[in-house]
Chains A and B, each alone.
Chain A
């Protein structure tokens, strides 16, 4: 966006300057609160599925030992740097 237009060239698409008709929420009038956009709903569903899969993998142990606690410093003293923890079958 050219600086001569008077807008900040580093903020190419500031909310108040959108010209897209689909941007009804930034239009001159809107009496009711805007609905959640479809892309947010789809993203939320995808994120929920991914989180559910991660929980499932952790619960079933399919993904193996997981989490930062698996190498906690205290564990080293107890297990004496047991290298077999990371040995693949």
Chain B
């Protein structure tokens, strides 16, 4: 699939905005998560859980889905392809796993926020630090992969490259 340079720039802008936005939103979420887990003031802890729920539902999940979709479109519309280079495949895998775990965690975070509202003292609630810190590490890894693009053609990419060369030669 080929697109015009203008459309490609637009797609790339959308992908960078969604991906970096996702990373930033998760970083902010980790701050809320630490406050919810380790905070001492009851009202602050309650507010942190409510903010976590809102940020996940209205910011993090939409950005994650947007990053995934724009990333796939960006890959298939450029010479990188989706399965030609290992860094693209690994990046896609990490993004899919991170999105799936996020979608599964959304319900849990909603329940934590509900409990934080119901309880007189929400400080005993467990938070979601392992997931949020894990998610942040995964997103930093994908950012590094996308910036450095470590070399390595997959077998599929190598075959495609040979096919293209054969076509050019003929």
Taking Cβ atoms with an 8 Å cutoff, the residues of A that contact B are 8, 10-11, 13-16, 18, 20, 22-23, 25-26, 30, 33-34, 36-37, 39-40, 43, 63-64, 67-68, 70-72, 81, 83, 86-88
Contacts and interface: CB of A to CB of B under 8 A. Distances in A.
Interface string B50-87: 00000000000000000000000000001110001110
Nearest to B130: A63
Given A10-B9, A83-B119, A86-B126, A15 B158 contact: no
A70 B5 CA distance: 48
A36 B105 contact: no
Nearest to A8: B5
A54 B105 CA distance: 16
A40 to B, nearest CB: 5
B111 A71 contact: yes
Contacts of B47: none
B133 interface: no
SS of B interface (majority): helix
Interface string B109-134: 00110010011000011100010000
A33 B150 contact: no
A15 B152 contact: no
A15 B119 contact: no
Contact of A33 (B8, B151, B155): B155
Contacts, number: 77
A64 B126 CA distance: 10
B40 interface: no
Contacts of A15: 79-80, 84-85
B108 A71 contact: yes
Nearest to A37: B152
Contacts of B130: 63
13 contacts: A14-B79, A15-B84, A25-B151, A26-B151, A36-B86, A37-B86, A39-B152, A40-B86, A71-B107, A83-B115, A83-B119, A86-B112, A88-B126
B3 to A, nearest CB: 11
Interface string B1-22: 0000100110010000000000
